[in-house]
Structure 1
Amino acid sequence: MPYTIKTTKEGLIYIKASNIIKISKPNSIDGAKVLGYPLIINANQITFLSFDTENKVTYFMMNGFQISMKVLFEDAEEALQIARSNIEKIIA
Structure 2
Amino acid sequence: MSYTIKTTREGLIYIKASCIIKVSKPNSIEGAKVAGGPLIINADLITFLSYDTESKVTYFMMNGFQISMKIMFQEAEEALQHARLRLDKIIKD
TM over 0.5: yes
AA aligned to 1:15 is I
Indicate the SS of the match to 1:91.
strand
Q: Which runs of 4+ in 1 moved over 2 A?
A: none
TM (norm. structure 2) is 0.97
Query: 1:67-91, CA deviations, whole angstroms, 9 ceiling, x for partnerless residues?
Result: 0000000000000000000000000
Which letter does structure 1 place at the counterpart of 2:75? D
Unmatched 5+ residue regions in structure 1?
Answer: none
Give the superposition deviation at 1:30. 1.4
Cα RMSD (Å): 0.7
Q: Which amino acid aligns with 1:50?
A: S
Please give the residue correspondences for 1:61-76 in structure 2 after superposition, counting only pairs within 5 Å.
61-76=61-76
Equivalence for 2:14: 14
Matches within 5 A, 1:1-92: 2-92=2-92
Gaps of 5+ in 2: none
Give 3-state SS (helix, strand or coil) of 1:14's partner. Answer: strand
